[in-house]
Amino acid sequence: MIPFDYAAPATVEEAVALLAEKNGQAKILAGGTDILVQLREGLRRAELVVDVKKIPELTDLNYSPETGLVLGAAVPCYRIYENAAVAAAYPALADATRIVGGWQIQSRASVGGNLCNASPAGDTIPPLIVYDVVCRIAGPKGLREVSAAEFCAAPGRNVLEPGELLISLAFPPVAPHSGSAYQRFIPRNEMDIAVAGAASWVQLDPAGKTIEKARIALAAVSPKPVYAEEASVWLAGKPANEESFAHAGELAKKVAVPIDDMRGTREYRVHLASVLTRRTLADAVKRAT
Amino acid sequence: MDKRAEATDTPEYKVIGTRPVRHDGADKVTGRAIYGADVHLTGMAHSRILRSPHPHARIKSIDTSEAEKIPGVLAVLTAADFPELEDKIAHLGEGSVNLAFLAANCVAKDKALYRGHAVAAVAAVSPHAADEAVKRIKVEYEPLPATTWVLDAMKDDAPLLHENLRTDEMGEKGDKPSNVASHLHFETGDVEKGFAEADVVIEREFRTASVHQGYIEPHVATALWNEDGRLKIWTSTQGSFTCRQQTAELLQMPISHVTVVPCEIGGGFGGKIAVYLEPVAALLSRKCGRPVKIIMQRNEVFEGTGPTPGSFVRVKLGAKKDGRLTAGQAWLAYDAGAYPGGMIGPGCMCVFSCYELPHALVDGYDVCLNKPKTQAYRAPGATQAAFACESVVDELADALGIDPFDFRLKNAAKEGTRRVDGPIYPRIGLIETLEAARNSEHWKSPLEGENRGRGMAAGFWFNVGLKSSVSAHVNPDGTVKLLEGSTDIGGTRASVAMQLAETLGIAAEDVHPIVADTDSVGYTDVTGGSRVTFATGMAAYEAGLDIRRQMAERAALLWECDANDVTIEGDDYSANGNSMTFREIAANLHETGGAVVGRATVAPEGSTNGFGCHIVDVEVDPETGKVTILRYTAAQDAGKAIHPSYVEGQMQGGAVQGIGWALNEEYFFDNQGAMRNASFLDYRMPTCLDVPMIDTIIVEVPNPAHPYGVRGVGETPIVPPPAALANAIYNATGVRMRELPMSPPRLWKAMAEKAGSRE
Ligand SMILES: Cc1cc2nc3c(=O)[nH]c(=O)nc-3n(C[C@H](O)[C@H](O)[C@H](O)COP(=O)(O)OP(=O)(O)OC[C@H]3O[C@@H](n4cnc5c(N)ncnc54)[C@H](O)[C@@H]3O)c2cc1C
């Protein structure tokens, strides 16, 4: 590991200044569960590591049923699933934060870090996409917003410019008769990276029979977590039953363009995309009623 | 709960069969035990190794000049620093090794034969400086075509690893260079005749991937080359004497100049017998004049050590309608990795070892290819063979409509059965083990629910004897210090000490076992081959007899009588109305002539045998192919369970490793021959969430070759799981899996293909 400097600014402005000064040679540290491993293995290099956990906006978690959730980018997973109101409001997010690594990892790993790391298999990213989360970004040119579905650019790359950092993730308030779920497939029961993952969000009619709106997103089946638009749009107005879920699964798998690797074959991952879509839709509907 | 099958006519023991706290327990659970990584010596340098990025390449040149310029670098080493070695075979107790190959495996000479093959090493004042320096070593490689699948490596046009290697066919060398190092052939009766007599004949082919032993502690060694030419090594090894011998031979120095201090060992399973780091650390220490420590990273462990062979096995079995086997034939090709000497021998011996086969023919091939040199892994070679044989046995029983237990019991090997490689079994406990499994609560309770199935399989492994030496010193407080040379991997301090305690009639806690270095105890072979509780235990028993004799002499001195008149009952010594306990005599040692030292060296001939039988219930997710293990029971003949908890622990640990091998573990190579999953993240060993409690049934059919009836138990339990799981998966899904691992993508594909062919 190459030596690097360390800074822990207390404000967003200071952080932006440090990052801008290093022009790409600084790396941001939230929980460190990705970045420390990458620095040690020489996959990334840093002259300066900027720890953002001292910045209040990044460690705050604010939830109200009226305004929704504003999740500081560095809030670790356990603070999400241990917060009963948040876990009930955003069950797909709770599902995902409960399975990232194990307890030790969850006590450090943040959702913001998971998103910024931009792994195709990042477990919390599909939930962010189905909730249509807005990513709030600060940089030398001020603040800007990007939707979660647009945030990742390629494996390990996001849309942030040098000098920018992610401040928080804004979740809309919970819609009536809505439910959501995230599932991933791994060969073991822990300590694994998703072979494929799917999040589903649905909003039903008041009778709970018909799907009014749906959003589906997939992980580990394309260069970045992806919104399954055709399947999501198709579901609107369809009966909330197994047949619809299965058809949506077939449509969702069209966006799956996975690779063959030690974690699974292309063919298998495409198949899993439809299975997990179906299963998470069924869960989401159950949770909505 | 102690679920040992009732054994009749076993003698009453005071210590044996109880469950005392292990002697090394407190140190281990409090983190005080000294492992290899805990060794810190004054002035110690840290070393890192440069490894080949190519699976097969000629090394054209190595330029270390830039590395030497890095601040803090103390020494750089390449193969040129090793003495020239001819092809000489060194016998290491369990197995033998060609020294030239062994040296080249430690540091590649003219060719790198696998990705991860060590090419050079640096010693520096810090690990970071060493890290930087290895990156500056310039190696010019000429990449060569590579092969990582055993059948490909056997082809005539396969890339050759060793220009001078010719196939050994029962002593005769082949006429042209080949990757096939040897061809073994075993035969009994006339298989053609046997198959002609059969009503049903089934022949199937099986493939298994390379798997690693997966010990939690990476390889580590610290060496100190003294000014006077003596070498001291602290290391994590299964055999300190074997390590001493290999190191001395590779460095061409007398064994008496080398001392090996075995540290606590965080698992070995067969993979910590061959040396990797010790000679490198020693040469670096000589070069830089400081102690040198090398610790492997996990990816180095995967890419540079182990694994156990990937294999191709074809098994053909014939049986009569009544279920009697008439003949068996097997063709096995195991990969040896980069250098000859894989696990094909035991594979051939074990393939049919559970059955009485009037006619049998076995051919086996030891094949070099571009993977790390394979090493032993718990019952080396037996698991691959049993996967094949026990799957075909299951299919045969199914085809004949015979219960799998009835079928196996009808054909089970017993006293007098001749194994295909020659030996005739003495009293063995396969039948008792099968019966215990069949009578288990598990087998008798129904399995209900969709996508569920139950399977079973039997397994066999040897217990080798080899050589063990112990000495034991009686303390004046009546305790006994026991010095042994067997490194303790599976609780053997306890199981060996308990045998000495039993012999002396004292408490297990009153024996203090010490695993001593090579200067402090007599020659002892490796901890391997399920031999320590059996053979080192036998030495402890003999040393106990020696102490008893001497203690009787001391009592006789005190009572002024003839030592032959002293009778010994447990810890009670008496003669002519006098009586003293062991402790009382010990209190008088200084008055009766000083210390009592018992000693013994044993070298039991041949091997004895351990059999097991496992039952497993699975549920298969029909959409993903993921297998969930619902329930698991392992039954095994332990001969006599000295410390039942550690027998159970061995059975459970072996079963779990077998489950990992069966379901998910594999070396995953890309088409460039590079391993893509050299981490515990992607090399998927089971975690505690992946296996249920493994229930155990200890069967005790005493081993006639041991004073307390012990049979080794460490290895047999890894043998049955893949076959038991394959049989269970068949019963759950109707699909016969013939390739390991039976990972979700593979099983899903097989199920989809079966569904497709039905439509
Ligand atoms: C043992 C283990 C198991 C794991 N298991 C899983 C798993 O099951 N599922 C899964 O998805 N992941 C897993 N991971 C990966 C990792 O834990 C997650 O991606 C985690 O959410 C990262 O969060 P972090 O806070 O630790 O990020 P860090 O490592 O601190 O940062 C991650 C990346 O994001 C950047 N970054 C962080 N914060 C910001 C910010 N505010 N603005 C801009 N850039 C930022 C960093 O520079 C870095 O590039 C595992 C990792 C380990 C070590």
Q: Which residues pair with B115 in a beta bridge?
A: none
Within 174-193 of A, beta carbons closer than 8 Å to B belong to: 185, 187-193
- Structure tokens, A217: 């997103």
Q: Which is nearest to B383 in space by CA: B465, B314, B311, B438?
A: B311
Q: Biggest alpha carbon distance in chain A?
A: 61
A271 touches chain B (CB under 8 A): yes
Residue B437: burial class (beta carbons within 10 Å; 0-12, 13-18, 19+): buried
Q: State if residue A244 touches ligand 1 by the CB under 6 angstroms criterion.
A: no
- Structure tokens, B595: 């210390």
What interface predicted TM-score (ipTM) does this complex get? Answer: 0.94
Determine whether the interchain pair A188/B680 forms a contact, defined as Cβ–Cβ distance below 8 Å: no
B211 secondary structure, DSSP code: B
Regarding pTM above 0.90, the answer is yes
User: Which of A168-177, B80-89, B335-344 comes out lowest in average pLDDT?
Assistant: B80-89
Q: Which is nearest to B237 in space by CA: B215, B258, B255, B257?
A: B215
Q: State if residue A68 touches ligand 1 by the CB under 6 angstroms criterion.
A: no
Compute the distance from residue B677 Cα to the ligand 1 centre, in Å: 20
The Cα B192–Cα B200 span in angstroms is 14
One domain for residues A116 and A81: yes
CA A233 to chain centre: 21
3-state secondary structure of B161: coil
Check: CB of residue B454 under 8 Å from CB of residue B447. yes
Q: Which residues of B touch A190 (CB under 8 A)?
A: 687, 689
Q: Indicate which residue's Cα is closest to atom 8 of ligand 1.
A: A100
CA B405 to chain centre: 28
User: Which of B321-325, B582-586, B755-759 comes out lowest in average pLDDT?
Assistant: B755-759
Q: State if residue A100 touches ligand 1 by the CB under 6 angstroms criterion.
A: yes
Strands (E) located in B15-162: 45-51, 57-63, 73-78, 89-91, 96-98, 111-112, 118-124, 138-143
Determine whether the interchain pair A271/B744 forms a contact, defined as Cβ–Cβ distance below 8 Å: no
Q: Indicate which residue's Cα is closest to atom 33 of ligand 1.
A: A117
Q: Please tell me the distance in Å from A86's CA to the nearest CA on chain B.
A: 27
One domain for residues A69 and A40: no
The Cα B613–Cα B250 span in angstroms is 42
Q: What is the CATH classification number for the domain harbouring A132? A: 3.30.465.10
One domain for residues A208 and A263: yes
Q: How many domains does chain A have?
A: 3
Residue B86 has pLDDT above 80, yes or no: no
Determine whether the interchain pair A262/B687 forms a contact, defined as Cβ–Cβ distance below 8 Å: no
Q: What is the CATH classification number for the domain harbouring A278? A: 3.30.390.50
Check: CB of residue B658 under 8 Å from CB of residue B634. no
Residue A106 has pLDDT above 70, yes or no: yes
Strands (E) located in B509-560: 511-515
Tell me the pLDDT band of B4, cut-offs 50, 70 and 90. Answer: very low
Compute the distance from residue A122 Cα to the ligand 1 centre, in Å: 9
Backbone angles phi, psi at B309, to 5 degrees: -60, 140
Compute the distance from residue A110 Cα to the ligand 1 centre, in Å: 6
CB-based contacts of B747, cutoff 8 Å, min separation 6 = B620, B625, B626, B627, B729, B733, B735, B737
One domain for residues A183 and A209: yes
Domain boundary among the residues A114, A138, A171 is at: A171
Name the residue of chain B whose CA is nearest to A272's CA: B624
B448-458 residue pLDDT tens: 999 999 999 99
Q: State if residue A52 touches ligand 1 by the CB under 6 angstroms criterion.
A: yes
Q: What is the CATH classification number for the domain harbouring A24? A: 3.30.43.10
The Cα B335–Cα B572 span in angstroms is 57
User: Which of A229-233, B3-7, B47-51 comes out lowest in average pLDDT?
Assistant: B3-7
Q: Which residues of A touch B677 (CB under 8 A)?
A: 262
Check: CB of residue B354 under 8 Å from CB of residue B388. no
Q: Which residues of B touch A189 (CB under 8 A)?
A: 687, 689-690
Residue A240 has pLDDT above 50, yes or no: yes
Q: Biggest alpha carbon distance in chain B?
A: 94
Residue A141 has pLDDT above 80, yes or no: yes
3-state secondary structure of B488: coil
Compute the distance from residue A116 Cα to the ligand 1 centre, in Å: 8
Compute the distance from residue A170 Cα to the ligand 1 centre, in Å: 19
Q: Which residues of A touch B687 (CB under 8 A)?
A: 188-191
CATH of domain B1-6+426-462+607-759: 3.30.365.10
Give chain B's count of helices (H) and strands (E).
20, 30
Q: State if residue A135 touches ligand 1 by the CB under 6 angstroms criterion.
A: no
Rounded average pLDDT over B697-720: 96
Among A191, A195, A262, the residue with its CB nearest the CB of B687 is A191
- Structure tokens, B300: 């180095």
Residue B68 has pLDDT above 60, yes or no: yes
B286-312 residue pLDDT tens: 999 999 999 999 999 999 999 999 999
Q: Do you know the residue count of chain A?
A: 289
Tell me the pLDDT band of B673, cut-offs 50, 70 and 90. Answer: confident
Domain boundary among the residues A34, A51, A68 is at: A51
Q: State if residue A163 touches ligand 1 by the CB under 6 angstroms criterion.
A: no
Domain boundary among the residues A171, A190, A214 is at: A171
Instruction: Please report the atom of ligand 1 found closest to the CA of residue A52.
Output: 41
Q: State if residue A73 touches ligand 1 by the CB under 6 angstroms criterion.
A: yes
pLDDT, position A1: 59
Q: State if residue A72 touches ligand 1 by the CB under 6 angstroms criterion.
A: no
3-state secondary structure of B641: coil
Sign of CA dihedral B620, B623, B625, B629: negative
Domain with CATH 3.30.365.10 in chain B: 1-6+426-462+607-759, 465-602
B462-505 residue pLDDT tens: 988 999 999 999 999 999 999 999 999 989 999 999 999 999 99
Compute the distance from residue B678 Cα to the ligand 1 centre, in Å: 21
Q: Which is nearest to B221 in space by CA: B167, B275, B153?
A: B275
One domain for residues A74 and A158: yes
Share of chain B above pLDDT 70, in %: 98
Determine whether the interchain pair A188/B745 forms a contact, defined as Cβ–Cβ distance below 8 Å: no
One domain for residues A39 and A80: no
Range of the domain at A219: 178-288
For ligand 1, mutation pick of A35, A39, A168 (most atoms within 8 Å of CB): A35
One domain for residues A12 and A78: no
Check: CB of residue B466 under 8 Å from CB of residue B531. yes
B516-568 residue pLDDT tens: 999 999 999 999 999 999 999 999 999 999 999 999 999 999 999 999 999 99
The Cα B301–Cα B116 span in angstroms is 9
pLDDT, position B521: 97
Please give the CATH topology (third level) of the domain spanning B465-602: Aldehyde Oxidoreductase; domain 4 (3.30.365)
Check: CB of residue B88 under 8 Å from CB of residue B248. no
Tell me the pLDDT band of B94, cut-offs 50, 70 and 90. Answer: low
The Cα B58–Cα A98 span in angstroms is 49
